């Protein structure tokens, strides 16, 4: 790999704002684990569990806390929080990759004449861009992305292959939307008319803030009346469902296979672990942490950690506990 495909350790440390002890001219081309790193890659130590791997690493430099620097067999980049610095380091190498990407519009794409597309954007093959769409600077659309009418996408947002963005969706800057995600579809809205169902047309929109990341195969419904809102810095894992008129507050993180029913409001700086269900029309305050497989059936007004799922146990013991749970009401009466 040539030098212009990597970065010197000196420049790497400078971009991180960290202290380097070692060869400033050494070229590094990527990040890797302590065990798998080669002599042109950087690694990191964030847990004592991996000290044994540190002693054997072939990495050319390690991001490490000052109190453990003497354990490293290679150059060091000092950080009070090595894991945080590692996270920032990933951006440096990702930007190196992005700088190699070309701008322009594939001849195999279908672009409406009224669409406004920055000359620095990249539109991949088989994309379809609708009427009055606005696409900002350095946006990247992978192959097969569909952007429907009157949608706006902010600068430096990346939308991966085969994602679909419906009409009148706004997506901020520096967002990442992974493959297969659908944004702006109708939610579950029907009213009984005798033995039939009458559909409620969804007339609202979806607004997504800046620096939001949405995982693969997520579904985000548009508002029925009013809008679905995902605020800045929200992170959604794969296969998360956000129903109509949900509002997710700033910097909240939601793990895979969680479903949030309509008109629920989730506050800022919350975390929702995998496989959770949150019913409709609830309000969850800021700084709430919900553990895996929990079912949230009422509003949460105080910050803290909440759990409803049962933990793994021997199956025989689980059956005995299940029987006891059924009898709990009678036991309390006695």
Task: Flag whether 211 is in a domain.
Answer: yes
Closest by CA position to 308, among listed 289, 323, 287, 332: 289
The pLDDT value recorded for residue 101 is 64
Let me know whether 171 and 270 are in one domain. Answer: yes
Task: Flag whether 106 is in a domain.
Answer: no
Domain stops at, among 82, 98, 114 = 98
Task: Report the number of distinct structural domains present in the chain.
Answer: 2
Let me know whether 75 and 169 are in one domain. Answer: no
The pLDDT value recorded for residue 42 is 96
Let me know whether 176 and 284 are in one domain. Answer: yes
Burial of 103 (0-12, 13-18, 19+ CB in 10 A): middle
Let me know whether 172 and 251 are in one domain. Answer: yes
Task: Flag whether 104 is in a domain.
Answer: no
Let me know whether 93 and 170 are in one domain. Answer: no
Task: Flag whether 325 is in a domain.
Answer: no
Q: Which residues pair with 41 in a beta bridge?
A: 30
DSSP result, 306-334: E--SPPP--HHHHHHHHHHHHTHHHHHH-
Contacts 24+ apart (CB under 8 A), 143-152: 143/106, 148/184, 149/112, 151/184
Query: Which of 241, 244, 289, 315 is an active site residue?
Result: 244
Let me know whether 205 and 302 are in one domain. Answer: yes
User: Is 202 part of the annotated catalytic residue set?
Assistant: no
CATH value at residue 243 = 2.160.10.10
Task: Flag whether 120 is in a domain.
Answer: no
Task: Flag whether 260 is in a domain.
Answer: yes
The pLDDT value recorded for residue 29 is 93
> Across the 334 residues of the chain, what is the mean pLDDT of every consecutive 10-residue run?
70 95 94 95 94 94 95 95 95 79 88 96 97 97 98 97 98 98 96 96 97 98 96 98 98 98 98 97 98 96 92 88 84 77
Between vectors from CA 210 to CA 204 and to CA 215, what angle results, nearest 5°?
A: 80
Let me know whether 170 and 85 are in one domain. Answer: no
Instruction: Say which residues have a Cβ less than 8 Å from residue 140's Cβ, sequence separation at least 6.
Output: 98, 101, 121, 122, 124, 157, 158, 159
Domain stops at, among 98, 113, 128 = 98
The pLDDT value recorded for residue 2 is 39
Let me know whether 188 and 276 are in one domain. Answer: yes
DSSP result, 14-62: HHHT-EEES-TT-EE-EE--TTT--TTEEEE--SGGGHHHHTT---SEE
Domain stops at, among 98, 131, 151 = 98
Let me know whether 69 and 190 are in one domain. Answer: no
Structural domain that includes position 23 = 3-98
Task: Flag whether 155 is in a domain.
Answer: no
The pLDDT value recorded for residue 307 is 94
Let me know whether 185 and 285 are in one domain. Answer: yes
CATH value at residue 87 = 3.40.1390.10
Let me know whether 203 and 298 are in one domain. Answer: yes
Task: Flag whether 295 is in a domain.
Answer: yes
Rounded CA-CA distance 186/216 in Å is: 19
H-only helix segments in the chain = 9-16, 51-54, 82-98, 315-326, 328-333
Rounded CA-CA distance 76/69 in Å is: 7
Let me know whether 289 and 179 are in one domain. Answer: yes
Instruction: Say which residues have a Cβ less than 8 Å from residue 17's Cβ, sequence separation at least 6.
Output: none
């Amino acid at each position: 790999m040539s030098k212009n495909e990597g970065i010197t350790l000196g420049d790497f440390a400078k971009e991180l704002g960290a202290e380097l002890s070692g060869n400033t001219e050494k070229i590094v081309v990527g990040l890797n684990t302590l065990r798998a790193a080669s002599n042109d890659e950087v690694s990191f130590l964030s847990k004592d569990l991996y000290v044994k791997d540190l002693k054997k690493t072939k990495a050319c430099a390690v991001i490490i806390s000052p109190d453990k620097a003497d354990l490293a067999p290679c150059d060091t980049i000092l950080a009070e929080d090595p894991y945080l610095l590692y996270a920032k380091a990933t951006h440096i190498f990702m930007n190196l990759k992005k700088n190699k990407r070309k701008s322009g519009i594939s001849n195999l794409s279908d672009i409406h004449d009224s669409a406004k597309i920055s000359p620095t954007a990249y539109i991949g093959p088989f994309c379809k861009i609708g009427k009055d769409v606005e696409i900002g600077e350095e946006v990247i659309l992978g192959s097969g992305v569909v952007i429907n009418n009157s949608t706006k996408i902010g600068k430096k947002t990346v939308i991966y292959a085969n994602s679909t963005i419906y009409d009148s969706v706004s997506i901020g800057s520096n967002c990442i939307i992974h493959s297969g995600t659908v944004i702006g579809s109708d939610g579950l809205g029907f009213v009984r008319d005798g033995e039939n169902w009458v559909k409620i047309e969804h007339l609202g929109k979806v607004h997504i803030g800046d620096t939001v990341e949405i995982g693969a195969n997520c579904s985000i419904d548009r508002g029925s009346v009013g809008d679905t809102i995902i605020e800045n810095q929200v992170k959604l894992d794969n296969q998360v469902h956000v129903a109509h008129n949900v509002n997710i507050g700033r910097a909240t993180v939601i793990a895979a296979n969680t479903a949030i029913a309509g008109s629920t409001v989730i506050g800022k700086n919350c975390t929702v672990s995998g496989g959770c269900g949150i019913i409709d029309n609830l309000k969850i305050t800021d700084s709430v942490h919900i553990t895996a497989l929990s079912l949230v059936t009422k509003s949460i007004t105080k910050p803290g950690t909440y759990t409803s799922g049962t933990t793994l146990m021997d199956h025989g013991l689980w059956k005995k506990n299940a029987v006891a749970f059924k009898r709990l009401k009678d036991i309390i009466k006695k």
